[in-house]
A and B are shown apart, each in its own frame.
Chain A
Amino acid sequence: MEINNNQLLRFTTAGSVDDGKSTLIGRLLYDSKSIFEDQLEAIENTSKKKGHEGVDLALFTDGLRDEREQGITIDVAYRYFTTPKRKFIIADTPGHIQYTRNMVTGASTANAAIILVDARHGVIEQTKRHAFIASLLHIPHVIVCINKMDLVDFEEAAYNKIIREFEEFSSKLLVKDFRFIPISALLGDNVVNRSENMPWYQGGPLLHTLETMHISSDINKVDARFPVQTVLRPQSEGFIDYRGYAGRLASGVLRVGDEVAVMPSGFSSTIKSIEGPSGSINEAFAPMSVSITLNDDIDISRGDMIVRANNQPEASQDIEVMLCWLNNNAAKPRAKYTIKHTSNDQKAMIKEVIYKIDINTLARKTEDTELTMNDICKVKIRTTKPLMIDSYRENRVTGSVVLIDETTNETVAAGMIV
């Protein structure tokens, strides 16, 4: 198989068994021949044991014992399939409000989100919540699959009505690329194969859409940001004075000879060499892991960021963040947390909760400012030392942070810098 130009597309699916989410994933994997015989046998057996007629494709996505017993998705599960055009990673997340944090987790790395709408019920609160999370996490592409078209006689009117409903509330969202596909996950219409029941639909089926959408602009290739993970000092023969700054480009392009600045110190130098995974290269771009040497001896360590001299991020100790609370223990007022931003760890304090978002109505509430599990709030954070930040909208890597509770070491919140 020719793979030299094949890209990786990560997408997330939010929803519950009722929306047909598991059936859709099962259908994608089954029709693209990504399910193996022994996996199929296993779910055939389970289907029989549970008394289902035929093979319940939804069973394929249940992982943990509790999930199989209760028939629900709790945690994010990752699935993989490959077609001759692309490799796909599915972050399969639960759709219930109680698991918002898992939806946010699955959405954080996605190029695309699939939102399922039941053709019979139209846009409901859950649909709005899923679209909002896709917007909040700045997923570049959103595909709204209007499912169960077989139950509305494959009528174009039902499809058009839902698109109208969706347009009405989505214009305030940040997603630029919304697409709508009428499908029947159960019967396979417009999932992998084009539907013969809906000749009025001129667009491509879901898989074709995923295979062909333009994703190489999803990563910011304009602003060069290189967070240093670690310093390589081999001190071995041939490399006595070698100091390589190892890291993964968060965004942008760096070339040998480029004038760079090191933040936060502000020292400048030029790039002497770039070592890629398979040897020396002249230029590196996001998301490559490389190590860089500079022409001047500067003190650089983990947490520093190498950027282009004429294009620098903001260095700030006061940041405004959309924060999603992920932990059972509510936020403690004025408590100190560790904030992780790229490779930089600092101490931080939540100084003020500006408003909380009612995730079902998208209304802003300024009265209720307690941060509990699954809450999404706009907050002001103060850090002990400056972070080198961009807005999340411009840069998903240098615009994101997590908070860690130092008494439990748990990751308690995820934040998107405004």
Chain B
Amino acid sequence: MSKYYLNYLDELESEAIYVLREVWAQFENPVILFSGGKDSIVVTHLAKKAFYPSKIPFALMHVDTGHNFPETIKFRDDLVKDLDARLIVGSVQTSIDNGRVAEEKGKNATRNALQITTLLDAIEEHKVDCAIGGGRRDEEKARAKERFFSHRDDFGQWDPKNQRPELWNIFNGRHFEGEHFRVFPISNWTEMDVWNYIRREKIEIPSLYLAHEREVVWRNDSWIPKSEYLILEENEKIETKKIRFRTLGDITITGGIESDADNIEKIVQEVSAMRKTERGNRTDDKRSETAMEDRKKQGYF
């Protein structure tokens, strides 16, 4: 006799597919926010399943900071071709050139916060009423309070104290012209779930997640990769280390960890033994205790 209950990965998968189908049913012009990171790759994989045998009905939207890992861009372009999907690129460089935002100054300058303006401009320009993201509630304390269907006002802002109640699996995506929603189908997944799922489904991921030799510099407690944007401080030196990345953001702020995990099996083992959160290597979250909440209120992912 067969069992009539799901294991938790299957349950999370079905939940995410349900959410993606709700998006398609409730919105006019939804997109998947695609960063090239593992979470948005998993969301895209789930979207493929949700609508099979139809194509993914969403365009992929990438906010390009200009400070990318070249591997990420190639991965993105290959995937878009493979899915026969539409790609929308919002460029931070263009936002800077147009005077919409100004580059940060100083040693820890990044383009991380500038993405918010570019993202909101792209959402407005393309009349996007729902942006699907790979955000997870286990990532960060402000994200722990996020809804599946998260309302944004006409300035793209999140009001965490005034969120719509979300009961059972009934999602309310109603909004006025100019407002939009952020939807997070893998809200209930943890980093470990994502890796277990990638392993189970044999999902392709950028090689950056696997251990490889790279020129890096030790900064803010992690290995920052050498790139054309990296300005060395005194006492800092470039070394070659075998590293891998736990999350992928801009090349300027994403720190690697020393690792020998060069395949998915080893990564799953390594992650299960990890004693630090994955965003622990992201300098963008370290700026203050509520750095994520503050950025999210303005319209960050």
B166 within 8 A of A: yes
The reply to whether A397 and B168 form a contact with Cβ atoms under 8 Å apart is: yes
Q: Which residues of the other chain, A, contact B190 by a CB distance below 8 angstroms?
A: 80, 82
- Establish whether residues B55 and A39, one from each chain, have CB atoms under 8 Å apart when the complex forms: no
Known: A89-B188, A108-B168. A277 touches B4 (CB 8 A): no
Q: Kindly provide the distance from the CB of A141 to the nearest chain B CB, expressed in whole angstroms.
A: 15
On whether the beta carbons of A75 and B6 are closer than 8 Å, the reply is no
Assembly CA distance A411 to B51 (angstroms): 28
Number of interface residues of A (CB under 8 A): 78
Which residues of the other chain, B, contact A76 by a CB distance below 8 angstroms? 145
Q: What is the CB-to-nearest-CB distance from B125 to chain A, in angstroms, rounded to a whole number?
A: 24
Known A-B contacts A102-B165, A104-B167, A289-B17; the reply to A230 vs B24 at CB < 8 A is yes
* Least Cβ–Cβ distance between A303 and chain B, in angstroms: 9
A37 at the interface (CB under 8 A from B): yes
Query: Is residue A365 contacting chain B, with contact meaning CB distance below 8 A?
Result: no
Q: Are the CB atoms of B187 and A402 closer together than 8 Å? A: no
Main secondary structure of the interface of A (DSSP, over half): mixed
Which of B53, B169, B170 meets A242, CB within 8 Å?
B53
- Choice from A39, A42, A409 contacting B176 with Cβ under 8 Å: A409
Interface flag for A63 (CB, 8 Å): yes
User: Do the beta carbons of B10 and A277 come within 8 Å of each other?
Assistant: yes
Is A226 part of the binding interface, using a Cβ–Cβ cutoff of 8 Å?
no
Interface residue stretch chosen among A150-158, A175-183, A205-213, A280-288:
A280-288
7 tightest CB-CB pairs across the interface, nearest first? A8-B8, A216-B5, A289-B17, A409-B174, A289-B14, A234-B54, A108-B167
List A residues 63-90 near B (Cβ within 8 Å): 63-66, 68, 74-80, 82, 86-87, 89
Residues of A within 8 A of B280 (CB): 36, 38
Give Cα A397 to B167, complex, Å. Answer: 10
Please report whether the interface of chain B is mostly helix, strand, loop or mixed according to DSSP. Answer: loop
Q: A42-B289, A75-B161, A411-B172 are in contact. Are A87 and B55 (CB under 8 A)?
A: no
- Give the total of B residues in contact with A, Cβ under 8 Å: 62
The answer to whether B161 touches A7 (Cβ under 8 A) is no
Judge if B207 is at the interface, Cβ distance under 8 Å.
Answer: no
Segment of B92-100, B104-112, B116-124, B268-276 engaged in the interface with chain A: B268-276
Q: B167, A402: Cβ atoms under 8 Å?
A: yes
12 pairs, CB–CB < 8 Å, chain A vs chain B: A1-B272, A63-B144, A63-B293, A78-B145, A216-B5, A232-B54, A246-B51, A248-B14, A277-B13, A287-B15, A402-B167, A404-B172
- A251, chain B: closest CB distance, angstroms: 11
Please determine whether A77 and B50 come into contact, CB atoms closer than 8 angstroms.
no
Residue in chain A with minimal CB distance to B25: A230
B11 at interface, CB cutoff 8 A: yes
Cβ-defined contact, A277 with B49, below 8 A: yes
Query: Provided the pairs A3-B196, A63-B142 are in contact, do residues A400 and B168 lie with their beta carbons within 8 angstroms?
Result: yes
CB-contact partner of B137 in A80, A242, A288, under 8 A: A80
Q: Is the CB of B53 within 8 A of A239?
A: yes
Q: Are B18 and A75 in contact (CB-based, < 8 A)? A: no
Q: Among A233, A244, A283, which residue has its beta carbon within 8 angstroms of that of B2? A: A283
For residue A287, which residues in chain B have a CB less than 8 angstroms away from its CB? Answer: 6, 11, 14-15
In the complex, A357→B149 CA distance in Å?
30
| Binary CB contact string for chain A from 221 to 248 against chain B (1 if under 8 A, 0 otherwise) | 1000000011011101011001010111
A268 contacts the other chain (CB 8 A) = no
Contact B169 A397 (CB under 8 A): yes
In whole Å, how far is B189's beta carbon from the nearest beta carbon of chain A?
8
Instruction: Enumerate chain A residues within 8 angstroms of B6, measured Cβ to Cβ.
Output: 7-8, 287-288
Q: Is the CB of B168 within 8 A of A64?
A: no
Q: Is A372 interfacial (CB 8 A cutoff)? A: no
A68–B168 CB distance below 8 A: no
Question: If the complex has contacts A3-B8, A7-B5, A229-B22, are A411 and B165 also in contact, measured as CB distance less than 8 A?
Answer: yes
- A380 contacts chain B at the CB level, 8 A cutoff: no
The reply to whether the CB of A101 lies closer than 8 angstroms to some CB of chain B is yes
Known contacts A65-B293, A287-B14, A36 near B277 by CB under 8 Å: yes
Interface flag for A129 (CB, 8 Å): no
Residue of B whose beta carbon sits closest to that of A79: B144
CB distance from A33 to the nearest CB of B (A): 9
Contact at A78–B166, with CB atoms within 8 Å?
A: no
- List of A residues within 8 angstroms of B274 by Cβ: 36
Q: Is B229 interfacial (CB-CB < 8 Å)?
A: no
B290 proximal to A (CB < 8 A)? yes
- Given contact pairs A75-B145, A288-B10, a sample of 13 additional A-B residue pairs in the complex whose CB atoms are under 8 Å apart: A3-B9, A4-B7, A7-B5, A36-B276, A82-B190, A109-B168, A216-B3, A230-B21, A232-B53, A234-B53, A236-B54, A246-B51, A278-B49
A260 to chain B, nearest CB (A): 19
Given A232-B53, A246-B50; A414-B21 close (CB under 8 Å): no
